[in-house]
Structure 1
Amino acid sequence: MQAAVSTTVIDGMDFARGARVLAEAGATEVEPAYIDGYTPFDEATFSAANGRAVAALFAAEGLSIRAMSAHTDLGRADGADRLLRRLTFAAAMGAGTVISNATASGNLDGLLRTLETVVPELEAAGIVLALENPGHGSEALLPDGAAGASFVASFGSPWVRFNYDIGNAVTYSGGRIDLAADLAAVRGQASRLHLKDVAVTGADWTFCPIGEGFVGYGERVDRSVLEGLPLTVEHPIRLHRPGRGDPVRRAEAPTEAEIRVALAASATALDRLLSGD
Protein backbone atom coordinates (compact mmCIF):
# COMPACT_ATOMS: atom_id res chain seq x y z
CA MET A 1 0.00 0.00 0.00
CA GLN A 2 1.28 3.47 -0.91
CA ALA A 3 0.49 4.84 2.56
CA ALA A 4 0.87 4.06 6.22
CA VAL A 5 -1.96 2.07 7.77
CA SER A 6 -3.45 3.16 11.07
CA THR A 7 -3.67 0.44 13.70
CA THR A 8 -7.34 1.34 14.22
CA VAL A 9 -8.14 -1.31 11.61
CA ILE A 10 -6.70 -4.09 13.81
CA ASP A 11 -8.59 -3.06 16.95
CA GLY A 12 -9.24 -6.25 18.90
CA MET A 13 -5.96 -7.91 17.91
CA ASP A 14 -2.74 -7.72 19.85
CA PHE A 15 -0.07 -5.79 17.96
CA ALA A 16 2.05 -8.89 17.24
CA ARG A 17 -0.78 -10.65 15.41
CA GLY A 18 -1.98 -7.40 13.87
CA ALA A 19 1.48 -6.65 12.52
CA ARG A 20 1.52 -10.00 10.72
CA VAL A 21 -1.89 -9.32 9.19
CA LEU A 22 -0.84 -5.85 8.02
CA ALA A 23 2.41 -7.10 6.53
CA GLU A 24 0.70 -9.98 4.74
CA ALA A 25 -1.79 -7.47 3.32
CA GLY A 26 1.05 -5.50 1.74
CA ALA A 27 1.55 -2.70 4.26
CA THR A 28 5.10 -1.42 4.72
CA GLU A 29 4.41 1.42 7.17
CA VAL A 30 2.12 1.54 10.19
CA GLU A 31 0.78 4.42 12.27
CA PRO A 32 0.11 3.30 15.85
CA ALA A 33 -3.07 4.95 17.14
CA TYR A 34 -4.07 5.75 20.70
CA ILE A 35 -7.45 7.49 20.54
CA ASP A 36 -10.03 7.64 23.34
CA GLY A 37 -13.10 5.64 22.35
CA TYR A 38 -11.27 3.91 19.50
CA THR A 39 -8.79 1.69 21.34
CA PRO A 40 -8.09 0.95 25.02
CA PHE A 41 -5.05 2.58 26.67
CA ASP A 42 -4.14 4.82 29.59
CA GLU A 43 -1.44 7.37 30.39
CA ALA A 44 0.89 4.63 31.68
CA THR A 45 1.07 3.34 28.10
CA PHE A 46 3.29 6.26 27.09
CA SER A 47 6.69 5.16 28.37
CA ALA A 48 9.99 4.76 26.58
CA ALA A 49 10.02 1.03 27.32
CA ASN A 50 6.58 0.56 25.78
CA GLY A 51 7.59 2.63 22.76
CA ARG A 52 10.59 0.41 22.11
CA ALA A 53 8.46 -2.70 22.53
CA VAL A 54 5.84 -1.50 20.05
CA ALA A 55 8.51 -0.59 17.50
CA ALA A 56 10.11 -4.02 17.86
CA LEU A 57 6.80 -5.82 17.25
CA PHE A 58 6.22 -4.01 13.98
CA ALA A 59 9.86 -4.10 12.87
CA ALA A 60 9.79 -7.89 13.22
CA GLU A 61 7.25 -7.92 10.37
CA GLY A 62 9.15 -5.36 8.26
CA LEU A 63 6.84 -2.45 9.15
CA SER A 64 8.28 1.02 9.70
CA ILE A 65 6.82 3.79 11.89
CA ARG A 66 7.07 7.46 10.93
CA ALA A 67 4.04 8.87 12.73
CA MET A 68 1.92 8.08 15.77
CA SER A 69 -1.58 9.26 16.70
CA ALA A 70 -2.07 9.86 20.42
CA HIS A 71 -4.82 12.39 20.90
CA THR A 72 -5.27 14.44 24.03
CA ASP A 73 -6.75 17.83 24.90
CA LEU A 74 -3.73 20.10 24.61
CA GLY A 75 -5.59 22.98 26.24
CA ARG A 76 -5.85 21.18 29.59
CA ALA A 77 -3.89 22.44 32.58
CA ASP A 78 -1.79 19.27 32.34
CA GLY A 79 -1.66 19.35 28.54
CA ALA A 80 2.11 19.82 28.42
CA ASP A 81 2.74 16.87 30.75
CA ARG A 82 0.47 14.64 28.71
CA LEU A 83 2.11 15.68 25.46
CA LEU A 84 5.62 15.18 26.85
CA ARG A 85 4.73 11.60 27.80
CA ARG A 86 3.58 11.01 24.23
CA LEU A 87 6.79 12.58 22.95
CA THR A 88 8.89 10.21 25.07
CA PHE A 89 6.88 7.27 23.73
CA ALA A 90 7.19 8.42 20.11
CA ALA A 91 10.92 9.05 20.37
CA ALA A 92 11.50 5.54 21.71
CA MET A 93 9.35 4.17 18.89
CA GLY A 94 11.31 6.07 16.25
CA ALA A 95 8.34 8.16 15.07
CA GLY A 96 9.10 11.59 13.66
CA THR A 97 5.55 12.92 14.06
CA VAL A 98 3.08 12.90 16.95
CA ILE A 99 -0.53 13.61 15.95
CA SER A 100 -3.10 15.05 18.35
CA ASN A 101 -6.29 17.05 18.27
CA ALA A 102 -5.84 20.57 19.64
CA THR A 103 -8.52 21.70 22.10
CA ALA A 104 -11.90 23.43 22.34
CA SER A 105 -12.42 26.91 21.00
CA GLY A 106 -12.45 28.41 24.49
CA ASN A 107 -9.06 26.96 25.42
CA LEU A 108 -6.73 28.81 23.05
CA ASP A 109 -4.66 30.24 25.91
CA GLY A 110 -4.20 26.78 27.38
CA LEU A 111 -3.10 25.39 24.02
CA LEU A 112 -0.57 28.18 23.56
CA ARG A 113 0.87 27.54 27.04
CA THR A 114 1.25 23.86 26.20
CA LEU A 115 2.96 24.59 22.91
CA GLU A 116 5.33 27.16 24.39
CA THR A 117 6.41 24.57 26.96
CA VAL A 118 6.77 21.68 24.56
CA VAL A 119 8.21 23.21 21.37
CA PRO A 120 11.80 23.23 22.73
CA GLU A 121 11.40 19.53 23.56
CA LEU A 122 10.02 18.82 20.09
CA GLU A 123 13.01 20.55 18.53
CA ALA A 124 15.47 18.70 20.76
CA ALA A 125 13.90 15.37 19.84
CA GLY A 126 13.47 16.22 16.16
CA ILE A 127 9.78 15.37 16.35
CA VAL A 128 6.93 17.33 14.74
CA LEU A 129 3.62 17.83 16.51
CA ALA A 130 0.85 17.64 13.91
CA LEU A 131 -2.47 19.04 15.11
CA GLU A 132 -5.51 17.27 13.65
CA ASN A 133 -9.07 18.38 12.94
CA PRO A 134 -11.63 16.22 14.80
CA GLY A 135 -14.37 14.14 13.21
CA HIS A 136 -17.12 14.64 15.78
CA GLY A 137 -18.16 16.82 18.67
CA SER A 138 -18.62 20.58 18.70
CA GLU A 139 -16.80 23.83 19.44
CA ALA A 140 -13.39 22.55 18.32
CA LEU A 141 -10.72 25.21 17.99
CA LEU A 142 -9.58 23.65 14.70
CA PRO A 143 -12.76 22.24 13.14
CA ASP A 144 -11.47 22.06 9.58
CA GLY A 145 -8.46 22.48 7.35
CA ALA A 146 -8.80 26.22 6.96
CA ALA A 147 -8.74 26.78 10.73
CA GLY A 148 -5.87 24.35 11.23
CA ALA A 149 -3.76 25.85 8.48
CA SER A 150 -4.39 29.37 9.75
CA PHE A 151 -3.39 28.43 13.29
CA VAL A 152 -0.12 26.69 12.43
CA ALA A 153 0.82 29.49 10.02
CA SER A 154 0.28 32.10 12.73
CA PHE A 155 2.09 30.05 15.37
CA GLY A 156 5.07 29.98 13.06
CA SER A 157 7.10 26.99 14.24
CA PRO A 158 8.39 24.23 11.96
CA TRP A 159 7.77 21.85 14.88
CA VAL A 160 4.02 22.50 14.94
CA ARG A 161 2.25 21.52 11.74
CA PHE A 162 -1.15 20.24 10.66
CA ASN A 163 -2.40 16.71 10.01
CA TYR A 164 -5.47 17.07 7.82
CA ASP A 165 -7.98 14.26 8.23
CA ILE A 166 -10.13 14.49 5.12
CA GLY A 167 -12.90 12.23 6.39
CA ASN A 168 -13.03 14.09 9.70
CA ALA A 169 -13.56 17.40 7.91
CA VAL A 170 -16.58 15.96 6.14
CA THR A 171 -18.19 14.31 9.16
CA TYR A 172 -17.52 17.16 11.61
CA SER A 173 -19.39 19.49 9.27
CA GLY A 174 -22.23 17.03 8.78
CA GLY A 175 -21.21 16.73 5.14
CA ARG A 176 -21.70 20.43 4.47
CA ILE A 177 -18.08 21.49 4.04
CA ASP A 178 -16.74 22.81 0.73
CA LEU A 179 -14.06 20.14 0.62
CA ALA A 180 -12.21 21.52 -2.41
CA ALA A 181 -11.80 24.90 -0.72
CA ASP A 182 -10.75 23.30 2.56
CA LEU A 183 -8.18 21.11 0.82
CA ALA A 184 -6.78 24.17 -0.92
CA ALA A 185 -6.46 25.95 2.43
CA VAL A 186 -4.18 23.31 3.94
CA ARG A 187 -1.59 23.31 1.14
CA GLY A 188 1.76 24.35 2.53
CA GLN A 189 0.74 23.84 6.15
CA ALA A 190 -0.12 20.13 6.28
CA SER A 191 2.69 17.73 7.04
CA ARG A 192 0.51 14.63 6.60
CA LEU A 193 -2.94 13.59 5.37
CA HIS A 194 -5.29 11.04 6.90
CA LEU A 195 -7.58 9.26 4.45
CA LYS A 196 -10.81 8.02 6.00
CA ASP A 197 -14.19 7.23 4.47
CA VAL A 198 -17.70 6.94 5.84
CA ALA A 199 -20.79 5.24 4.43
CA VAL A 200 -24.46 5.95 5.10
CA THR A 201 -26.35 3.04 6.66
CA GLY A 202 -29.92 4.15 7.21
CA ALA A 203 -29.80 6.86 9.87
CA ASP A 204 -26.26 5.91 10.87
CA TRP A 205 -22.73 6.35 9.61
CA THR A 206 -20.28 3.47 9.39
CA PHE A 207 -16.56 3.59 8.68
CA CYS A 208 -15.49 1.83 5.52
CA PRO A 209 -12.53 1.38 3.13
CA ILE A 210 -11.65 4.51 1.19
CA GLY A 211 -13.64 4.90 -1.99
CA GLU A 212 -16.69 3.07 -0.61
CA GLY A 213 -18.25 6.01 1.24
CA PHE A 214 -19.46 9.53 0.53
CA VAL A 215 -16.27 11.52 1.22
CA GLY A 216 -15.47 11.59 -2.49
CA TYR A 217 -12.09 9.98 -3.12
CA GLY A 218 -11.44 10.18 -6.84
CA GLU A 219 -14.04 12.93 -7.20
CA ARG A 220 -13.63 15.73 -4.67
CA VAL A 221 -10.26 14.28 -3.59
CA ASP A 222 -7.98 13.66 -6.56
CA ARG A 223 -4.33 12.79 -7.06
CA SER A 224 -3.15 16.41 -7.07
CA VAL A 225 -4.33 16.78 -3.46
CA LEU A 226 -2.32 13.79 -2.25
CA GLU A 227 0.94 14.14 -4.14
CA GLY A 228 3.99 15.11 -2.13
CA LEU A 229 2.54 14.42 1.31
CA PRO A 230 2.87 11.38 3.57
CA LEU A 231 -0.46 9.55 3.75
CA THR A 232 -2.16 7.37 6.33
CA VAL A 233 -5.18 5.23 5.54
CA GLU A 234 -7.44 4.97 8.57
CA HIS A 235 -10.42 2.66 8.60
CA PRO A 236 -11.67 2.06 12.16
CA ILE A 237 -14.12 -0.58 11.02
CA ARG A 238 -14.96 -1.63 14.57
CA LEU A 239 -16.64 1.74 15.10
CA HIS A 240 -19.97 3.05 13.92
CA ARG A 241 -21.87 6.28 14.53
CA PRO A 242 -25.50 5.61 15.51
CA GLY A 243 -27.70 8.48 14.45
CA ARG A 244 -24.55 10.07 12.99
CA GLY A 245 -23.51 10.92 16.54
CA ASP A 246 -20.26 10.16 18.35
CA PRO A 247 -18.37 6.97 17.43
CA VAL A 248 -19.34 3.81 19.32
CA ARG A 249 -17.04 0.81 19.58
CA ARG A 250 -18.84 -2.46 18.79
CA ALA A 251 -18.58 -5.23 21.38
CA GLU A 252 -17.29 -7.66 18.77
CA ALA A 253 -14.02 -6.96 17.00
CA PRO A 254 -13.86 -7.39 13.22
CA THR A 255 -12.65 -10.77 12.07
CA GLU A 256 -9.26 -11.21 10.46
CA ALA A 257 -11.03 -11.84 7.15
CA GLU A 258 -12.95 -8.56 7.46
CA ILE A 259 -9.73 -6.70 8.19
CA ARG A 260 -8.00 -8.21 5.17
CA VAL A 261 -10.93 -7.30 2.91
CA ALA A 262 -10.89 -3.70 4.16
CA LEU A 263 -7.12 -3.38 3.67
CA ALA A 264 -7.29 -4.82 0.15
CA ALA A 265 -10.17 -2.53 -0.83
CA SER A 266 -8.40 0.58 0.45
CA ALA A 267 -5.13 -0.41 -1.22
CA THR A 268 -6.88 -0.87 -4.57
CA ALA A 269 -8.72 2.44 -4.24
CA LEU A 270 -5.55 4.30 -3.28
CA ASP A 271 -3.55 2.81 -6.14
CA ARG A 272 -6.27 3.85 -8.56
CA LEU A 273 -6.44 7.33 -7.06
CA LEU A 274 -2.69 7.91 -7.18
CA SER A 275 -2.43 6.61 -10.75
CA GLY A 276 -5.14 9.02 -11.88
CA ASP A 277 -7.38 6.26 -13.25
Structure 2
Amino acid sequence: MAQPISVSTAAFDGYDLPVALDEIAGAGGKAVEIAYIKGYVSFDETAFTPANAAAVARALSQSGLSSMAVSAHVNASLPEAVEQLKRRMDFARRIGANIVITNAGPASLRDNLKQNLDQLIPEAAAQNVVIAFENPGHGSGDLLSTVADAADLVQSVGSPWVRINYDIGNIFTYSREQIHPEDDFEAVLAYVAHLHLKDVHSTPEGWTFTSIGDGSINYKKILRRLSQLGSTAPVGIELPLRLKRPGRQDPFRAPDPLPLSMIRAAVMRSLDFVESELSAV
Protein backbone atom coordinates (compact mmCIF):
# COMPACT_ATOMS: atom_id res chain seq x y z
CA MET A 1 0.00 0.00 0.00
CA ALA A 2 1.70 3.16 -1.24
CA GLN A 3 -0.41 5.87 0.32
CA PRO A 4 0.10 7.08 3.87
CA ILE A 5 -3.28 7.41 5.60
CA SER A 6 -4.24 9.90 8.29
CA VAL A 7 -7.43 10.69 10.19
CA SER A 8 -8.59 14.27 10.67
CA THR A 9 -9.36 15.51 14.16
CA ALA A 10 -12.43 17.22 12.60
CA ALA A 11 -14.33 14.01 13.40
CA PHE A 12 -13.90 14.76 17.11
CA ASP A 13 -15.28 18.30 17.08
CA GLY A 14 -16.29 19.14 20.65
CA TYR A 15 -13.63 16.99 22.33
CA ASP A 16 -10.17 17.95 23.53
CA LEU A 17 -7.22 17.13 21.29
CA PRO A 18 -5.73 14.43 23.56
CA VAL A 19 -9.06 12.60 23.47
CA ALA A 20 -9.14 12.76 19.67
CA LEU A 21 -5.55 11.53 19.39
CA ASP A 22 -6.07 8.63 21.77
CA GLU A 23 -9.23 7.64 19.93
CA ILE A 24 -7.51 7.72 16.54
CA ALA A 25 -4.60 5.67 17.86
CA GLY A 26 -7.01 3.25 19.50
CA ALA A 27 -8.86 2.81 16.21
CA GLY A 28 -5.62 1.74 14.54
CA GLY A 29 -4.62 5.05 13.03
CA LYS A 30 -0.94 5.83 12.60
CA ALA A 31 -1.13 9.46 11.52
CA VAL A 32 -3.39 12.42 12.21
CA GLU A 33 -4.37 15.58 10.39
CA ILE A 34 -4.86 18.38 12.90
CA ALA A 35 -7.92 20.39 11.82
CA TYR A 36 -8.41 24.11 12.34
CA ILE A 37 -11.31 24.76 9.97
CA LYS A 38 -13.78 27.58 10.57
CA GLY A 39 -17.27 26.15 10.77
CA TYR A 40 -15.97 22.64 11.46
CA VAL A 41 -14.27 23.19 14.83
CA SER A 42 -13.77 26.00 17.34
CA PHE A 43 -10.34 27.68 17.50
CA ASP A 44 -8.60 31.05 17.36
CA GLU A 45 -5.19 32.33 16.22
CA THR A 46 -3.54 31.32 19.48
CA ALA A 47 -3.68 27.77 18.13
CA PHE A 48 -0.68 28.63 15.94
CA THR A 49 1.72 29.90 18.60
CA PRO A 50 5.02 28.09 19.18
CA ALA A 51 3.82 27.19 22.68
CA ASN A 52 0.71 25.46 21.38
CA ALA A 53 2.70 23.75 18.64
CA ALA A 54 4.97 22.32 21.32
CA ALA A 55 1.94 21.10 23.28
CA VAL A 56 0.47 19.45 20.17
CA ALA A 57 3.82 17.82 19.36
CA ARG A 58 3.95 16.37 22.88
CA ALA A 59 0.39 15.08 22.60
CA LEU A 60 1.20 13.43 19.27
CA SER A 61 4.24 11.74 20.76
CA GLN A 62 2.29 10.53 23.78
CA SER A 63 -0.35 8.99 21.51
CA GLY A 64 2.23 7.39 19.22
CA LEU A 65 0.98 9.32 16.18
CA SER A 66 2.67 11.36 13.48
CA SER A 67 1.26 14.23 11.42
CA MET A 68 1.71 14.78 7.69
CA ALA A 69 -0.72 17.66 7.14
CA VAL A 70 -2.54 20.43 8.95
CA SER A 71 -5.90 21.76 7.77
CA ALA A 72 -5.80 25.43 8.70
CA HIS A 73 -8.04 27.22 6.25
CA VAL A 74 -7.92 30.91 5.41
CA ASN A 75 -8.90 32.86 2.33
CA ALA A 76 -5.40 33.03 0.86
CA SER A 77 -6.30 35.90 -1.48
CA LEU A 78 -6.85 38.41 1.37
CA PRO A 79 -4.09 40.76 2.61
CA GLU A 80 -4.04 39.27 6.12
CA ALA A 81 -3.56 35.77 4.72
CA VAL A 82 0.21 36.21 4.31
CA GLU A 83 0.86 36.44 8.05
CA GLN A 84 -1.86 33.88 8.82
CA LEU A 85 -0.30 31.31 6.54
CA LYS A 86 3.21 32.02 7.78
CA ARG A 87 1.99 31.18 11.29
CA ARG A 88 0.33 28.02 10.02
CA MET A 89 3.43 26.86 8.17
CA ASP A 90 5.56 27.44 11.25
CA PHE A 91 3.05 25.48 13.32
CA ALA A 92 3.07 22.60 10.84
CA ARG A 93 6.86 22.41 10.83
CA ARG A 94 6.98 22.38 14.63
CA ILE A 95 4.63 19.38 14.85
CA GLY A 96 6.41 17.47 12.08
CA ALA A 97 3.92 18.05 9.25
CA ASN A 98 4.98 19.25 5.81
CA ILE A 99 1.64 20.21 4.25
CA VAL A 100 -0.70 23.09 5.13
CA ILE A 101 -4.15 22.79 3.58
CA THR A 102 -6.01 26.04 2.97
CA ASN A 103 -8.42 27.83 0.62
CA ALA A 104 -7.40 29.80 -2.45
CA GLY A 105 -10.34 32.22 -2.40
CA PRO A 106 -12.66 33.50 -5.11
CA ALA A 107 -11.76 33.57 -8.78
CA SER A 108 -12.26 37.35 -8.74
CA LEU A 109 -9.21 37.72 -6.45
CA ARG A 110 -6.81 35.52 -8.41
CA ASP A 111 -4.32 38.36 -8.88
CA ASN A 112 -4.33 39.06 -5.15
CA LEU A 113 -3.58 35.41 -4.47
CA LYS A 114 -0.66 35.42 -6.87
CA GLN A 115 0.77 38.51 -5.13
CA ASN A 116 0.43 36.84 -1.74
CA LEU A 117 2.17 33.73 -3.06
CA ASP A 118 5.15 35.83 -4.10
CA GLN A 119 5.69 36.37 -0.36
CA LEU A 120 4.58 32.93 0.81
CA ILE A 121 6.57 30.67 -1.50
CA PRO A 122 9.99 31.67 -0.06
CA GLU A 123 8.59 31.05 3.42
CA ALA A 124 7.23 27.66 2.37
CA ALA A 125 10.65 26.70 1.01
CA ALA A 126 12.36 27.86 4.20
CA GLN A 127 9.92 25.90 6.38
CA ASN A 128 9.86 22.88 4.02
CA VAL A 129 6.05 23.03 4.05
CA VAL A 130 3.87 22.73 0.96
CA ILE A 131 0.83 25.00 0.60
CA ALA A 132 -2.01 22.78 -0.66
CA PHE A 133 -5.12 24.60 -1.87
CA GLU A 134 -8.38 22.74 -1.36
CA ASN A 135 -11.34 22.75 -3.72
CA PRO A 136 -14.47 23.98 -1.86
CA GLY A 137 -17.53 22.00 -0.84
CA HIS A 138 -20.12 24.78 -1.01
CA GLY A 139 -20.66 28.30 -2.30
CA SER A 140 -19.92 29.57 -5.80
CA GLY A 141 -17.33 31.53 -7.75
CA ASP A 142 -14.31 29.83 -6.18
CA LEU A 143 -10.96 29.89 -7.92
CA LEU A 144 -10.80 26.08 -7.65
CA SER A 145 -14.26 25.17 -8.87
CA THR A 146 -13.01 22.35 -11.15
CA VAL A 147 -9.93 20.20 -11.66
CA ALA A 148 -9.10 22.31 -14.71
CA ASP A 149 -9.03 25.39 -12.44
CA ALA A 150 -6.75 23.58 -10.01
CA ALA A 151 -4.34 22.48 -12.71
CA ASP A 152 -4.27 25.97 -14.19
CA LEU A 153 -3.43 27.56 -10.83
CA VAL A 154 -0.55 25.21 -10.09
CA GLN A 155 0.85 25.52 -13.61
CA SER A 156 0.64 29.31 -13.56
CA VAL A 157 2.39 29.59 -10.19
CA GLY A 158 5.12 27.18 -11.26
CA SER A 159 6.42 26.31 -7.80
CA PRO A 160 6.75 22.88 -6.14
CA TRP A 161 5.63 24.56 -2.90
CA VAL A 162 2.12 25.24 -4.25
CA ARG A 163 -0.02 22.19 -4.89
CA ILE A 164 -3.61 20.95 -4.50
CA ASN A 165 -5.48 19.18 -1.74
CA TYR A 166 -8.12 17.39 -3.81
CA ASP A 167 -11.19 16.92 -1.62
CA ILE A 168 -13.20 14.14 -3.22
CA GLY A 169 -16.41 14.79 -1.32
CA ASN A 170 -16.25 18.53 -1.99
CA ILE A 171 -16.22 17.99 -5.74
CA PHE A 172 -19.48 16.07 -5.44
CA THR A 173 -21.30 18.65 -3.31
CA TYR A 174 -19.90 21.85 -4.84
CA SER A 175 -21.03 20.69 -8.29
CA ARG A 176 -24.46 19.78 -6.88
CA GLU A 177 -23.73 16.17 -7.91
CA GLN A 178 -23.07 17.14 -11.52
CA ILE A 179 -19.44 15.96 -11.22
CA HIS A 180 -18.74 12.47 -9.92
CA PRO A 181 -15.22 12.42 -8.50
CA GLU A 182 -14.62 8.79 -9.48
CA ASP A 183 -14.68 10.05 -13.09
CA ASP A 184 -12.79 13.26 -12.37
CA PHE A 185 -9.90 12.78 -9.97
CA GLU A 186 -7.24 11.39 -12.30
CA ALA A 187 -7.02 14.65 -14.23
CA VAL A 188 -5.63 16.50 -11.22
CA LEU A 189 -3.34 13.87 -9.66
CA ALA A 190 -0.20 15.35 -11.19
CA TYR A 191 -0.80 18.52 -9.15
CA VAL A 192 -1.91 16.91 -5.89
CA ALA A 193 0.08 16.93 -2.65
CA HIS A 194 -2.73 15.46 -0.53
CA LEU A 195 -6.24 14.02 -0.92
CA HIS A 196 -9.21 14.35 1.41
CA LEU A 197 -11.55 11.37 1.62
CA LYS A 198 -14.98 12.64 2.60
CA ASP A 199 -18.21 10.78 1.87
CA VAL A 200 -21.81 11.98 1.74
CA HIS A 201 -25.07 10.12 1.39
CA SER A 202 -27.44 11.82 -1.05
CA THR A 203 -31.18 11.58 -0.41
CA PRO A 204 -34.17 13.72 -1.48
CA GLU A 205 -33.90 15.41 1.92
CA GLY A 206 -30.29 16.51 1.43
CA TRP A 207 -26.76 15.34 2.24
CA THR A 208 -25.48 13.61 5.36
CA PHE A 209 -21.83 12.86 6.06
CA THR A 210 -20.98 9.19 6.44
CA SER A 211 -18.12 6.79 6.98
CA ILE A 212 -15.96 6.38 3.89
CA GLY A 213 -17.58 3.83 1.59
CA ASP A 214 -21.08 4.22 3.04
CA GLY A 215 -22.14 7.22 0.96
CA SER A 216 -22.95 8.07 -2.65
CA ILE A 217 -19.35 8.38 -3.92
CA ASN A 218 -17.74 5.35 -5.54
CA TYR A 219 -14.74 5.15 -3.23
CA LYS A 220 -14.11 1.53 -4.14
CA LYS A 221 -13.34 2.61 -7.71
CA ILE A 222 -11.32 5.66 -6.59
CA LEU A 223 -9.13 3.86 -4.06
CA ARG A 224 -8.44 0.88 -6.26
CA ARG A 225 -7.51 3.17 -9.14
CA LEU A 226 -5.18 5.14 -6.88
CA SER A 227 -3.46 1.90 -5.98
CA GLN A 228 -3.21 0.86 -9.64
CA LEU A 229 -1.67 4.20 -10.54
CA GLY A 230 0.93 3.88 -7.79
CA SER A 231 -0.04 7.20 -6.23
CA THR A 232 1.99 8.14 -3.17
CA ALA A 233 0.02 11.26 -2.22
CA PRO A 234 -1.11 11.02 1.41
CA VAL A 235 -4.83 10.53 1.94
CA GLY A 236 -6.67 12.06 4.88
CA ILE A 237 -9.90 10.57 6.16
CA GLU A 238 -12.11 13.55 6.97
CA LEU A 239 -15.37 12.77 8.77
CA PRO A 240 -17.20 16.02 9.61
CA LEU A 241 -20.02 14.02 11.14
CA ARG A 242 -21.29 16.88 13.28
CA LEU A 243 -22.09 18.97 10.20
CA LYS A 244 -25.57 18.95 8.69
CA ARG A 245 -26.68 19.76 5.12
CA PRO A 246 -30.45 19.30 4.91
CA GLY A 247 -31.86 20.49 1.61
CA ARG A 248 -28.25 20.62 0.29
CA GLN A 249 -27.81 23.98 2.00
CA ASP A 250 -24.45 25.24 3.29
CA PRO A 251 -23.15 23.10 6.18
CA PHE A 252 -23.91 23.98 9.78
CA ARG A 253 -22.82 22.35 13.03
CA ALA A 254 -25.24 20.43 15.22
CA PRO A 255 -25.50 22.06 18.67
CA ASP A 256 -23.97 19.12 20.55
CA PRO A 257 -20.95 16.91 19.88
CA LEU A 258 -21.67 13.38 18.73
CA PRO A 259 -21.17 10.50 21.17
CA LEU A 260 -17.61 9.21 21.16
CA SER A 261 -18.85 5.69 20.50
CA MET A 262 -20.45 6.86 17.24
CA ILE A 263 -17.33 8.72 16.10
CA ARG A 264 -15.11 5.80 17.07
CA ALA A 265 -17.20 3.37 15.01
CA ALA A 266 -17.10 5.68 11.96
CA VAL A 267 -13.32 6.10 12.19
CA MET A 268 -12.72 2.37 12.52
CA ARG A 269 -15.10 1.55 9.68
CA SER A 270 -13.47 4.16 7.43
CA LEU A 271 -9.93 3.04 8.20
CA ASP A 272 -10.80 -0.59 7.55
CA PHE A 273 -12.48 0.26 4.25
CA VAL A 274 -9.71 2.55 2.96
CA GLU A 275 -6.88 0.21 3.94
CA SER A 276 -8.69 -2.76 2.41
CA GLU A 277 -9.46 -1.05 -0.90
CA LEU A 278 -5.98 0.43 -1.30
CA SER A 279 -4.56 -3.06 -0.75
CA ALA A 280 -7.02 -4.85 -3.02
CA VAL A 281 -5.11 -4.34 -6.27
TM-score by length of 1: 0.95
Work out the CA distance in 2 between the residues paired with 1:41 and 1:238. Answer: 16
Work out the CA distance in 2 between the residues paired with 1:180 and 1:264. Answer: 23
Secondary structure class of the residue paired with 1:72: strand
Q: Given residue 124 of structure 2, which amino acid in structure 1 is its aligned partner?
A: L
What does residue 232 of structure 2 align with?
228
What does residue 30 of structure 1 align with?
32
Question: CA shift at 1:107, angstroms?
Answer: 0.5
Higher alpha-carbon deviation: 55-64 or 84-93: 84-93
Q: Given residue 99 of structure 1, which amino acid in structure 2 is its aligned partner?
A: I
Q: Is contact 1:80–1:114 with CA below 8 Å preserved after alignment?
A: yes
Q: Given residue 274 of structure 1, which amino acid in structure 2 is its aligned partner?
A: L
Indicate the RMSD between aligned Cα atoms, in angstroms.
1.6
Higher alpha-carbon deviation: 46-55 or 130-139: 46-55
Structure 1, unmatched stretches of 5+, are none
Work out the CA distance in 1 between the residues paired with 2:260 and 2:188. Answer: 35
Q: Given residue 49 of structure 1, which amino acid in structure 2 is its aligned partner?
A: A
TM alignment of 1:99-248, pairs within 5 A: 99-219=101-221, 221-225=222-226, 227-248=231-252
Question: CA shift at 1:202, angstroms?
Answer: 4.2
What does residue 96 of structure 1 align with?
98
Q: Given residue 279 of structure 2, which amino acid in structure 1 is its aligned partner?
A: S
Work out the CA distance in 2 between the residues paired with 1:67 and 1:79. Answer: 18
Matched, 1:263 2:267: yes
Work out the CA distance in 2 between the residues paired with 1:124 and 1:61. Answer: 29
Work out the CA distance in 2 between the residues paired with 1:129 and 1:120. Answer: 11
Question: CA shift at 1:60, angstroms?
Answer: 0.5
Q: Is contact 2:180–2:217 with CA below 8 Å preserved after alignment?
A: no
What does residue 22 of structure 2 align with?
20
Question: CA shift at 1:105, angstroms?
Answer: 0.9
Higher alpha-carbon deviation: 201-210 or 222-231: 222-231
Question: CA shift at 1:178, angstroms?
Answer: 4.6
Spell out, residue by residue over 1:85-121, the C-alpha distance to the aligned partner (whole angstroms, 9 max, x if none).
2122212222111010101010001101111011111
Question: CA shift at 1:43, angstroms?
Answer: 1.9
TM-score by length of 2: 0.94
TM alignment of 1:29-68, pairs within 5 A: 29-68=31-70
Q: Is contact 1:2–1:267 with CA below 8 Å preserved after alignment?
A: no
Work out the CA distance in 2 between the residues paired with 1:182 and 1:107. Answer: 25
Spell out, residue by residue over 1:125-157, the C-alpha distance to the aligned partner (whole angstroms, 9 max, x if none).
111111110111111001132311221122110
Question: How many residues end up aligned between the 2 structures?
Answer: 276
Higher alpha-carbon deviation: 266-275 or 8-17: 266-275
Structure 2, unmatched stretches of 5+, are none
Work out the CA distance in 2 between the residues paired with 1:152 and 1:94. Answer: 25
Work out the CA distance in 1 between the residues paired with 2:260 and 2:239. Answer: 14
Q: Given residue 57 of structure 2, which amino acid in structure 1 is its aligned partner?
A: A
Work out the CA distance in 1 between the residues paired with 2:148 and 2:215. Answer: 23
- Shift >3 Å, 4+ stretches: none
What does residue 9 of structure 1 align with?
11
